[in-house]
Amino acid sequence: MVRPKIFVPAAVVLGALGVGGLVLYTPNHSACSSILIQATNESLCRTANTFYIISWVLIAIAILMTLGQIASLTQSRNSTSTGQSPNQEFCVSCGKPMAINSAFCPQCGATAAPTNSSVVIETPQDNKGPSESELAVSLEKSEDEKSIGRRRSAWNHPVAIGLIVIALILASGAVAVAINDHHDPTVTSSSTSQTTIRPSGLVSANLPLSSCTTTYGIPGTKPARLPNYIREMIPRGDVGKLKVFADAQGVMELVGPRQWGCDASIGADGSSSLFIGPIGTNNYSGKLASSSTVEQISGSQTSACVSCGLDQACPLFAAAAQENQSDYQQGCLTSAPASESITQLTKSVVEFTDPPGVHGDANPSGGAYAARGAMTFSSGQLVTSWMETCLLPPSEQSLCSASLDDFVSAYGSK
């Protein structure tokens, strides 16, 4: 039997690659089990998780290949366990064993073509050799067995090569993911690794990320290490106009005009807020004067503060209003104005718009520009609500749409 020698070096190489991948990426994979780490290092976590899985795949393939080699060697040993050489030859005249590579029978001195050892020939009592018909059958069986052995051994190399090809495909996919997460942020329509067109007309693009100056409710909190770029879904025409703003922990990220600045705050209970606006402007909240031309994007999330989440979501979610009443025996602190338009996107997500001059659930609202917003609400073991408000002039409403769409995509399932 031909031994599949390709199995041993291939298994060693694949096993080494798998173990090396686990050593390199297991720490990042374990760290990414934290929701906070996922939020602040999404691309890094995606790469770490991909390579972690592929490392295990490589190890599994190496184990299978090694088991195949062991099985092959075992079968080879079993074929010689009868105590005779697999190349033992017998005299066709008297049927006695002949010396290896000998052309003469030591018993009768005849010169004859040998038969294969895998065919058992019974020694006749009259010391006469087998008949020609018996020899023909024996030779035919021998050739059939040789043919079967060749076919089995011929399959060993394609199987090994096929497994290696599969491993290389998986590895190349992981490399593509890693490159895709760290490529140049410029988006081109000809590169599917940089731009993915969605049915909604959005494209996936790497946008620059700015870490905002952040104040903390817990003194001594250190900023997290955030990536320089992050992938977002935005309209193709707005790629060069937008970037991502995040608090220093990456808890909340909002998309806004590239030339703006930002600041943020994170409370001791984990709740946070994020403000984006033209550099040098103030962060406005609440009701604006009807003549106000304030431009800003702001967001907030209530984290573990249950009452905060219920108060924020109460005017727009009936479930929040019911829970607020049952838990705190009080109604909503505010109510949505009649002129506020509300669109229920899912059970846990709504979009709304406060027209110019109308102070509603958007924060801030009531100024010269329509205030557009989106809000989420979830209840259960964790009650939380996320909200974004966008105030821009009519000519820049596409930027509001891009920011709100990204917000819903990122936090709609929170």
Confidence category of residue 275, pLDDT binned at 50, 70, 90: very high
Q: Do residue 218 and residue 77 come from a single domain?
A: no
Q: Is residue 69 part of a domain?
A: yes
Across residues 373-390, what is the average pLDDT?
A: 93
Give the residue-averaged pLDDT of 249-278.
96
Tell me, yes or no, whether 14 and 99 share the same domain. no
Domain ranges, residue 383? 202-411
- Which position has the higher pLDDT, 331 or 34? 331
One domain for residues 296 and 326: yes
Nearest-angstrom CA–CA distance, 414 and 386: 8
Residue 345 falls inside a structural domain: yes
Q: Is the pLDDT of residue 244 over 80?
A: yes
Say if 113 falls within a structural domain. yes
Residues 206, 94 within the same domain: no
First to last CA, the chain: 61
Per-residue CA distances from 159 to 60, 145, 162 (Å): 15, 22, 5
Do both 36 and 125 map to the same domain? no
Give the range with max mean pLDDT: 60-64, 149-153, 343-347.
343-347
**Is residue 317 domain-resident?**
yes
- If one counts the domains in the chain, the total is 3
Question: What's the pTM?
Answer: 0.55
In a shared domain, residues 262 and 390:
yes
How far from 19 is each of 11, 22, 28, 176, CA to CA, in Å? Answer: 12, 5, 15, 21
Residues 392 and 268 in one domain: yes
Q: Are residues 169 and 318 in the same domain?
A: no
SS3 112: coil
Q: Is residue 228 part of a domain?
A: yes
Report the C-alpha gap between 274 and 412 in whole angstroms: 17
Q: Residue 96 — pLDDT band, cuts 50, 70, 90?
A: confident
Instruction: Identify whether residues 16 and 111 lie together within a single domain.
Output: no
Higher-scoring residue by pLDDT: 92, 115: 92
What value does the mean pLDDT take over residues 59-77? 79
Measured over the CA atoms of residue 325, residue 331, residue 332 and residue 333, the dihedral's sign is negative
pLDDT grade for 19, boundaries at 50, 70 and 90: confident
- Same domain flag for 161 and 274: no
pLDDT band of residue 87 (cuts 50, 70, 90) is: low
